[in-house]
Amino acid sequence: MPTANAKIGELRIKPVDGTKFLGYGPKFDAQLDWIDTGDIVSIDANGSVELITSKEDLITDKNGKIIEHWTMEKTICAYDQVKGAQIISASKNDSLTAVLVLKTASCDQGIVKSDIQSLCKNNQVLRVENAHIQWKQSAKRVENSLT
């Protein structure tokens, strides 16, 4: 997770002469000094770079401000019953939804909901309006409101 003083922005790289940058497709222009990778990263005071998300996956609110969904996902994944989490939003005006994959099907949904609410509140992350929970051992999906 980015540190408090880390700078966050899009990663740009300078190609080495003669490289082709396979995978950057028709957008790659060998004449450019710097190439936008489409990756959002943080860089700390020591120069350490951490990949956060793809530019395409950024979520903005109705005012165009970036919502740091990666912070929310890492906070939720700190819960011992969660194997993975992704925060999504269909549009600027839609509520945030957490898609959760739990480690085991034996978890109590009510306890998971309550614990994640507390975890988000205690870590001062935005409120997630909905949770779509998928148990690891089955494809059964359960929707719970986290409000």
Confidence of residue 142 (pLDDT cuts 50, 70, 90): very low
Nearest residue to 87 (alpha-carbon basis) of 55, 129, 139, 141:
129
* 69 and 12 in a common domain: no
* 139 and 110 in a common domain: yes
- Residue 126: which residues within 8 A CB-CB, separation 6 or more? 67, 72, 96, 120
* 138 and 95 in a common domain: yes
On whether residue 84 sits in a domain, the answer given is yes
Confidence of residue 100 (pLDDT cuts 50, 70, 90): confident
pLDDT, one tens digit per residue, over 110-132 is 888 888 888 887 877 765 555 55
On whether residue 99 sits in a domain, the answer given is yes
* 52 and 67 in a common domain: no
pLDDT value for 137? 41
pLDDT value for 145? 41
**Which of residues 16, 41, 57 is at a domain's end?**
57
Range of the domain at 126: 59-145
pLDDT value for 34? 80
pLDDT, one tens digit per residue, over 73-99 is 888 898 998 889 888 887 777 777 888
Confidence of residue 146 (pLDDT cuts 50, 70, 90): very low
CA distance 69 to 147: 17
CA distance 114 to 21: 47
